[in-house]
Amino acid sequence: MMRGPRAADLALAPAAEERPRTRHTYGFRYLLRRFARNRLALVGLWVVMLIIVFAVFASWIAPYSPIKPDFVNLLKPPDTGHLMGTDDLGRDVLSRVIFGTRTSLLAGVISVGIAVMAGLPLGLVSGYYRGRLDDLLMRITDAMLSFPFLVLALTIAAVLGAGLDRAMIAIGIVFMPAFIRLSRGQVLSEREQNYVEAARALGAGDGRIIWKHILPNIISPVLVQASLATAAAITAEAALSFLGLGTQPPTPSWGSMLNFAQAYLSTAPWMAIYPGLAIFITVLALNLLGDGLREALDPRLR
């Protein structure tokens, strides 16, 4: 499916596909080919896939239980038995980092999922029909975007109560306006295109035009935004858990691991180093992936 950046492939590609006349000929395969030429983005993709493998097979990969305390091995520095050392309850840091991938990926995917599922339809309808609803929605999103996003997420999470599920809802709500604005802006330009008029002339209803004709044409920028938002959502969940509002102990979460590590910074720095490194690598990989997708979509950015 996805081909590497081999010169032969590129030379054989028909000219029309290489240099599309309009935006609309940017097919998904064209996007993938451009993406595959970006080496950093590919690295990001591989790392993300590796992290997914870690999350899915955590119980097989992790050498120890991430939750069961081991009072014989408290605060042990990294060695061959415990590659990343142990924490204040004797738990293996590596195992907790591996299980932490589950929490982080879940938080990233679910909260962005909430934001897209709520934001995309609102943006589509708002941009397609314009009018009062659009005005109202734009003022509300203006207002929501006036809050620093972490402050708003923190407040919503606090109101809903501590816990991973509620943190995900809070982050999802805070990310929603960005998706409303993005999809609305895209619809505004698409609805004036000839193909929409053609569909209407053929008797297609509004619902059909929006879902069958406009949506496929605006989905690429939404996907790019979603991949970048996933990175931000993972950081946000870690931040909330770090402040004590997200994932609750003993569930392994990189953010809450860092929170508890603060007290042992001088005696057991490994407790802080590895969970943070895990967040950094995951978020960086997702950002590389998202940037790669964005550049593939809009070549002027290179």
Partner 1 sequence: MTRYLARRLLLTIPVLFFVSLIVFSLITLIPGDPARIMMGEEASREALEVLRKEMGLDRPLILRYGIWISHVLRGDLGRSVRDRRSVMQTLLQKIPVTAELAVTSLIVAWAIAIPAGALAAWKRRSAIDYAATTVALAGISIPNFWLGIMLIYLLAVNARLLPPGGYVEPWIDLGRNLKLMVMPSIVLGTALAALVMRLLRSSMIEVLGSDYVRTARAKGLSDRVLIIRHALKNAMIPVATIMGLQLGGLLGGAVITETIFAVPGVGRLAVDSILTRDYPMVQGVVLFAALAIVAVNLAVDVVYAFLDPRIRLEERSA
Q: Per DSSP, which regions of 74-168 are E strands?
A: none
22 vs 146 by CB, closer to partner 1: 146
With binding defined as CB under 8 A, does residue 264 bind partner 1?
no
83 vs 152 by CB, closer to partner 1: 152
Task: Identify whether 275 is preceded by a cis peptide bond (ω within 30 of 0).
Answer: no
Nearby residues of 140 by Cβ (< 8 Å), 6 or more positions away: 177
Nearby residues of 146 by Cβ (< 8 Å), 6 or more positions away: none
With binding defined as CB under 8 A, does residue 142 bind partner 1?
yes
Taking the complex as a whole, how short is the minimal distance between the CB of residue 63 and partner 1, in angstroms? 24
x/- track of binding to partner 1 for residues 90-129 (CB under 8 A): ----------------------------------------
Alpha carbons within 13 angstroms on the beta-carbon side of residue 99 total 22
d(CA 128, CA 189): 10
Choose the binding region for partner 1 from 62-70, 100-108, 196-204, 238-246 (rule: CB under 8 A).
238-246
With binding defined as CB under 8 A, does residue 253 bind partner 1?
no
- Judged by CB under 8 A, the chain residues 22 through 81 that form the site for partner 1 are 40
Choose the binding region for partner 1 from 23-31, 60-68, 109-117, 236-244 (rule: CB under 8 A).
236-244
Taking the complex as a whole, how short is the minimal distance between the CB of residue 39 and partner 1, in angstroms? 11
Nearby residues of 203 by Cβ (< 8 Å), 6 or more positions away: none
CB atoms within 10 A of CB 191: 18
Choose the binding region for partner 1 from 53-61, 81-89, 116-124, 137-145 (rule: CB under 8 A).
137-145
170 vs 210 by CB, closer to partner 1: 170
- Judged by CB under 8 A, the chain residues 148 through 167 that form the site for partner 1 are 148-152, 154-156, 158-160
Taking the complex as a whole, how short is the minimal distance between the CB of residue 97 and partner 1, in angstroms? 13
Q: State the number of binding residues for partner 1 (CB under 8 A).
A: 47
d(CA 109, CA 193): 33
Spatial contact of 235 and 243, defined as CB atoms under 8 Å apart:
no
Taking the complex as a whole, how short is the minimal distance between the CB of residue 16 and partner 1, in angstroms? 27
Position 30: which residue type? Y
- Judged by CB under 8 A, the chain residues 273 through 302 that form the site for partner 1 are 273, 275-277, 279-280, 283-284, 287-288, 291, 301
Classify residue 86 by its DSSP letter: B
d(CA 53, CA 264): 31
Structure tokens at 180: 């409303």
What does each C-alpha distance from 55 to 49, 51, 234, 246, 272 come to in angstroms? 10, 6, 14, 19, 20
Given the rule CB under 8 A, which residues bind partner 1? 40, 139-140, 142-144, 146-152, 154-156, 158-160, 231, 235, 238-239, 242-245, 255, 258, 261-262, 265-266, 269, 272-273, 275-277, 279-280, 283-284, 287-288, 291, 301
